[in-house]
C-alpha cells in the first residue's frame, strides 16, 4: 500500500469515526430528534444552532426522493465515487491532495453508513446570519466540502512544474 493511500485512508477513517460519534451523541445523548433545536451561539447577527434534519437527498437536499430505493441508489453512487477517489489517492502527489481525498472519502462513507442505518443522513449543524440559514450539515459534509475546496485550490495554485507526468 502506498504511503499516500495509507495516510489518506487513515485520515478518512478518523473523520468517519468522529462523524459517527457526533451523530450518536446528537441522537442518543442530546436526543435532538425529540428536542428539534438547541441554540448554541449567538454573536450579534451570526448564530449557530443544533437543529435536527433527516437529509434524504444529497447536498442541499437535492435528489431527496421519497422512494424506497432512493437512499440505496445514493449510497451505491457515493461508494462508486469513493472507489474512484481511492484510486486517485494511491497516486496523490502532495500532502494536501492526500488529506483532501481522505476527507472526501471518509465523509462520503460516513454518510453512506447513515443511509444504510437510517435511510437518510443525520444533519444537525445550523449556521445562520441576519435571518439567513445556510444548509444544515454534519461533520462528514464539512469534511467533503473542505476536501473539495482543497482539491480545487491545489489545481488552481500549484505550479505546473511541480506536477508529475501521468504514467
- Tell me the three-class secondary structure of the chain, residue by residue: CCHHHHHHHHHHHHHHHHHHHHHHHHHHHCCHHHHCEEEEEEECCEEEEEEEEEECCCHHHCCCCCCCCHHHHHHHHHHHHHHHHHHHHHCCCCHHHHHHHHHHHHHHHHHHHHHHHHCCEEEEEEEEECCEECCCECHHHHHHHHHHHHHHHHHHHCCHHHCCCCC
| Catalytic pick among 19, 123, 126, 154 | 123
| Catalytic pick among 19, 114, 126, 141 | 141
The question of whether 141 is a catalytic residue gets the answer yes
Which residues form the catalytic set? 123, 141
Amino acid at each position: 500500500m502506498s504511503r499516500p493511500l495509507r495516510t489518506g485512508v487513515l485520515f478518512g477513517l478518523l473523520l468517519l469515526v468522529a462523524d459517527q460519534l457526533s451523530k450518536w451523541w446528537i441522537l442518543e445523548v442530546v436526543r435532538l430528534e425529540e428536542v428539534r433545536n438547541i441554540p448554541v451561539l449567538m454573536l450579534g447577527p451570526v448564530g449557530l444552532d443544533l437543529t435536527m434534519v433527516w437529509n434524504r437527498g444529497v447536498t442541499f437536499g437535492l435528489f431527496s426522493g421519497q422512494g424506497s430505493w432512493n437512499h440505496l441508489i445514493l449510497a451505491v453512487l457515493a461508494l462508486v465515487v469513493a472507489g474512484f477517489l481511492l484510486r486517485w489517492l494511491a497516486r496523490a502527489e502532495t500532502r494536501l491532495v492526500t488529506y483532501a481525498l481522505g476527507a472526501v472519502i471518509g465523509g462520503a462513507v460516513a454518510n453512506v453508513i447513515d443511509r444504510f442505518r437510517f435511510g437518510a443522513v443525520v444533519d444537525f449543524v445550523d449556521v445562520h446570519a441576519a435571518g439567513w440559514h445556510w444548509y444544515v450539515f454534519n461533520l462528514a459534509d464539512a469534511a467533503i466540502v473542505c476536501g473539495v475546496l482543497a482539491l480545487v485550490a491545489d489545481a488552481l495554485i500549484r505550479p505546473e512544474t511541480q506536477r508529475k507526468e501521468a504514467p
